[in-house]
Structures are given as structure tokens and as C-alpha cells.
Amino acid sequence: SQTIHQWPATLVQPVGSPLSLECTVEGTSNPNLYWYRQAAGRGLQLLFYSVGIGQISSEVPQNLSASRPQDRQFILSSKKLLLSDSGFYLCACPGHTNYGYTFGSGTRLTVV
């Protein structure tokens, strides 16, 4: 089964600073990859998804961007963070069975 690694687990950044969150996947090849954001322990909002290297689709206009430089690597970035970028960021890919997704353990971002 696949495993998703995310780092860092926790991040505190000042407003206006850049951001780079990394997600890597093991146990599968050429997966669809997704970035979700979750605010205050509630539902997940899809930010970006990628069906292959260099292919990024954005679901919500925002201060963030994503890139997929390698098959199993998905990066979430920002040039200048806003307070509203705070949240819990999750990377995911489809599982092998039951149509479900496998999620990473997430990055808690606090912008101060």
C-alpha cells in the first residue's frame, strides 16, 4: 500500500514570508496527487490536484501555487504568506482499494 510523507509537521511563519511544503509518495507510481486545506478541524477544501509531472489544476484562486517536479513529489508554495493562509495542509492520493484516499499526516501552518 502507498504511504505519503509530509514535512514539516508544524510551521510558524511571519506574514510576507515564503512557503514550501513538500509531499512525497511511496508504494505507487504516477498517482493523482492532491493538496487540501482544513480550517479549524472542519471539512477539507481542495486546493490543487495533479494527474502527472508538470500538470497542475487549481480549484480555488488564492495566494498559493503548486508544482510537481517528479512523479512522486508534490510541492505547495507561496511567495508571500497571508494570515488567511493559516491552516492544516494535507496531501493525498487515491488508494488501491475501496475508492478512498490515502492522506499524509499533514502540516500545521500558523502565519503570524
**Segment lying near another protein (by CB under 8 A), choices 14-22, 62-70, 75-83, 93-101:** 93-101
Spatial separation of the C-alpha atoms in residues 42 and 53, rounded to whole Å: 30
- Cβ contacts of 40 within 8 Å, gap of 6 or more: none
Instruction: Rank residues 27 and 100 by Cβ distance to another protein and give the closer one.
Output: 100
The per-residue DSSP string of 65-112 comes to: EEEEEETTEEEEEESS--GGG-EEEEEEEE-SSTT-EEE---EEEEE-
Spell out, one character per residue from 42 to 61, where the chain touches another protein: x when CB under 8 A holds, - when not. Answer: xxx-x--x-x-----x-x--
When asked if residue 16 is in the footprint of another protein (CB under 8 A), the reply is no
Task: Among 66, 90, 93, 111, indicate the residue that binds another protein (CB under 8 A).
Answer: 90
Which residue matches cell numbers 494570515?
Answer: 83
Which residues in this chain contact another protein in the complex, by CB under 8 A? 4, 32, 34, 36, 41-44, 46, 49, 51, 57, 59, 90, 92, 95, 98-106, 108
